[in-house]
Structure formats: structure tokens, C-alpha cells
Chain A
Amino acid sequence: MTKSYDAIIIGGGIIGTATGYYLSKQGLTVLLLEKDYLTAGSTGRCITGIRQQFSTPATIKTAMRSVALFSRMEEELGRDVEWTNSGYIFLAHDEQKVETFKKTVALQKQFGLDVDYLSAEECKKIVPMLNIDGLLGGTWCPSDGQASPFFVVQAYAENMVKNGCEIIRGDEVTGITVKSGRVESVTTASGAVYGAPMIVNAAGPWAREVGRMAGVELEVEPERHEALITEGVAYMNIPMLVDYRKEGGYFVQRTTGQFIGCYTPEHQVKGRDTGSTLEFIAEMARRMCRLIPALEDVAILRQWSGSYSMTPDGSPIVDETSVAGFFCSVGMSGHGFMLGPALGESLAGYMVNKTWPFDMSEFAFGRSFGAKEDLA
């Protein structure tokens, strides 16, 4: 006989585990299926950043809600997830960025975000080690922060199981059965069949393939992003620095004293390749030292890469699809970790009560894709 659940989640990254946890909190029986191990996808490759500085209402509100959830995660989930308000500074090195930042700060303030536009000298006061050559100004949000993606996923997974749900690792969903326009069950590589009236596609870079199993086309395209981490050194009080110049990048000092960072490659490398290049490590080293010259003696420990899952407008798709009972929470770009808790909570709420906490039509399935987010 087919084992049945209230909901099945495909994918054990931040999105799958957060959605699973918030569904379990509402008393649903959930099965989460992960083809590999938890955090095997993009989540285990992210650089831990959590910010609220975005340029569209639903993204700002979602990110602010996530920060609220991260701040009380230890209390709610019983595990220290290394959450810290270490802040984010977006750096403006040209007039156009100054304009954009002033505009986005005004919008963010409307939602009550503690963000300010600062002069270069004021940025230097916050980060004394910052090289401000060519810097015109920056935006500073002290309540942005960082957390460990591994501990967050672990915390959600443990609590889901504690609430009576199941997680199966190492079994891939290979088919989704749809009857009369409604999902019915999934089939896995091991030959198992599990039934549920609601199925969530949280497959990250594999979202398109999983969508197609139910006959749903999702415009999500994976793209390779490389990253590195250094050894731990004395705390230098460096928040996440976002440098949008052509030879820019983003990096932060972790609570472990390590520096972790990445940059957006000039030429996109499409696909799910997770190889790493010598070019990246050399470039990233140079870019980090350009902003914080004191880093030149710090040793690089490891480099790796992972996928950003891109939609045409850079915002995620979080909604029920054209197949009844088939939901998706995909296309997280470079923000899935930080948006994950709040998106998990909202989607779980929608699945149970058919209401969103606020207008989330920016993330609707089937929307026409307009312009890209300003602070992509």
C-alpha cells in the first residue's frame, strides 16, 4: 500500500527544511525527500549572508521577517545557529550607485528598516580597516547579519522530525503522478511510491526538472558561483561588504573569525557544475585585499562553487503552480538562505489557510517577468 502524508517536500536545502518545519508546526504530517544529503545543493555552498536591503516591497518584508525568525531561532529550535547581527554595507563607487542606494534606502525606511546612507568617512568609522579610495558612500544596516546554513538546516530538520514528520535521505524523486489536474503521489529511484494531496518543489538548481515531472514549466536556470573561506583570525569587525564594481565582490568575517566570500562572475557559467578555478581564488584574494588591505597575511583554506538558481527577474517563484496541489518555492538567486525562513513560513501558511501574510504577488507563478531587482 502507498504510504500517504499531508504533504511531500522534494529537496533538503534551506527551502525544503524550512517549509517542512513550518508545515509540521501546523500539525501536518510531512515527508521530505532528499536525493543526496541535507544541504547537498546550493545551501551548503552559500556564504552565510542575511540582509534586508532589497529594492522591492515583498522582498524587503520577507527578508525582515526572516531576520526576526533568525534572531529567535535558537530559542524556538533549540540549537545555536551562529546568528549574529554583524550588518551589511553596500558600497557606492559611482554616482549611479549613489542614486540607486538613496532611492532604495528611502523605500526600505518606509518598511521600518534601520538602514542609512552614509558618507565614505562614516563608512570608515564603522569599518576602520576599510580602504575608502574611490568610495563615494554606502548604505549600512546594522540588523543584517549572518548564520550557519548547516546549523539552520539541521535545526529545522530536527524539529520537523520532533513534530512527527519524516526525512528520507539518499532517495531521488523520479516521477510525480498527476490525476485530473491534481497531484497524487511521487515515485522515487528506489521504487517507492508516496502519496500526498500537496507536493512542494524545493529542488533548488534541479527545480526545472522536478517541475517537468508534473508537466509544469518553471523558468529557473542554474548558474555557477564560486566562493572561498580563509582560516580564522582575530576578530576585525568586518560586516558583509558588498562591492558592486566590475572587480567587486562580497565577503564577511564569520563568527568563527574566518572570512568567507564570493563574487559574481563577469561571464555566466550556466549549469550545475561545481568545479573551482584558480582564476577565482586569485581574483577574489585581490578583490578582498583591495577593500581590506590587512587581509593579505590571512591564509585561504578552501574554495568551492555552487549554483544560483536564476529566474528572469531575479525574484523567486513561491506559489501554487498550474497543477492543483503542486507548489513551488524556487529560483532563489543568491538569496535563498536569507529568504528561506520567511518564505517557508509564508508558503506553509498559504498551503494550510490559502492566505499570504502580505502581498506576495511579486513571487507569483505565471507572472510576466519584468525588470531585474536593483540590488540583485
Chain B
Amino acid sequence: MSDKDIIICRCEDVTQAEVEAAIDGGITDPEELKRFLNVGLGPCQGRTCGRLVLQILARKTGKPVSEIRATKTRPPLVSVPIKEFIGSDDD
């Protein structure tokens, strides 16, 4: 199986080869990777792929995972239907 076939982010369909190519292109910050590849921006909010990306970064840059800053988690922690926000109000 080649790196092209290994899916790192299932939600956004990003492969290991794409992550590695971006890192080779100079993008070594997980925040920047997230934005340029959409990796971690799917419905699971990176729960599945976040760790995998950090591991690839660690391997490619030689930095331990603990030294790479993890991406910021944005609320809401689980996606919420719009009507949940509007139902309760009394206007």
C-alpha cells in the first residue's frame, strides 16, 4: 500500500502522501497544515486524525510530539443543530 492510499483524515479525505508533501513544502505548523489541507476540519473536528498528523510531523521534523503545539480546539465540542440554539429563547 503506498502513502497515497493511506487516509489520515477520513472526514476530509486527506492522505498521508498529501500531508507529507505539505510538510516537505515547508508547512511544519499543525495550525497551518490544518488550514491548507482541511485536515482536522471535518465533522469529527480532528478527533481521529489529529494525533496521526502530529505523529507524521514528529517523524518528518525529528521533533518529539510533546514539542509540537497541538491545534486549538474551537467550540462547540460536538456539532449542534441550529435549532438547539434558537428554540429556548422567548422573543
Contact = CB atoms under 8 A, between A and B. Distances in A.
Contacts of B76: 281, 300, 302-303
Contacts of A231: 43, 79
Interface stretch (B30-38, B49-57, B60-68): B30-38
Contact of A303 (B31, B35, B74, B81): B74
B83 A296 contact: yes
Given A37-B32, A302-B75, A169 B26 contact: yes
What's the interface size class on B, roughly?
20 to 34
B14 to A, nearest CB: 13
Contacts of A304: 74
B77 to A, nearest CB: 10
B1 interface: no
B43 A276 contact: no
Contact of B74 (A154, A276, A295): A276
B35 A301 contact: no
Nearest to A230: B82
Contacts of A167: 26
A301 B36 contact: no
A167 B27 CA distance: 11
Interface in B9-63: 25-27, 29, 31-32, 35-36, 41, 43, 45
B82 A285 contact: yes
A170 interface: yes
B89 interface: yes
B55 to A, nearest CB: 19
Interface stretch (A38-46, A50-58, A93-101, A265-273): A38-46
Given A38-B32, A286-B89, A301 B82 contact: no
Interface in A285-301: 285-286, 288-289, 295-301
A281 B86 CA distance: 10
Contacts of B41: 302
B18 to A, nearest CB: 13
Contacts of B75: 276, 281, 302-303
A288 B82 contact: yes
Given A296-B83, A302-B75, A37 B29 contact: yes
A4 B35 CA distance: 31
Contacts of B26: 161, 167, 169
A169 B43 CA distance: 29
A288 B86 CA distance: 10
Contacts of B36: 150-151, 154
Nearest to B78: A299
* Interface core residue of A37, A288, A303, A304 (most chain B CB under 10 Å): A37
B79 A301 contact: yes
Contact of B35 (A44, A296, A298, A299): A44
A302 B25 CA distance: 28
A158 interface: yes
Nearest to B81: A299
B86 A285 contact: yes
Given A150-B36, A231-B79, A299-B81, A282 B31 contact: no
30 contacts: A36-B29, A37-B29, A37-B31, A38-B27, A38-B32, A39-B32, A39-B35, A44-B35, A150-B35, A154-B36, A158-B25, A167-B26, A231-B79, A282-B85, A282-B86, A282-B89, A285-B83, A285-B86, A289-B82, A296-B82, A298-B81, A299-B79, A300-B79, A300-B81, A300-B85, A301-B79, A302-B41, A302-B45, A302-B75, A303-B76
Given A276-B75, A285-B85, A302-B41, 14 more contacts: A36-B29, A37-B27, A39-B32, A150-B36, A161-B26, A231-B79, A281-B76, A297-B81, A299-B79, A299-B81, A300-B85, A302-B75, A303-B76, A304-B74
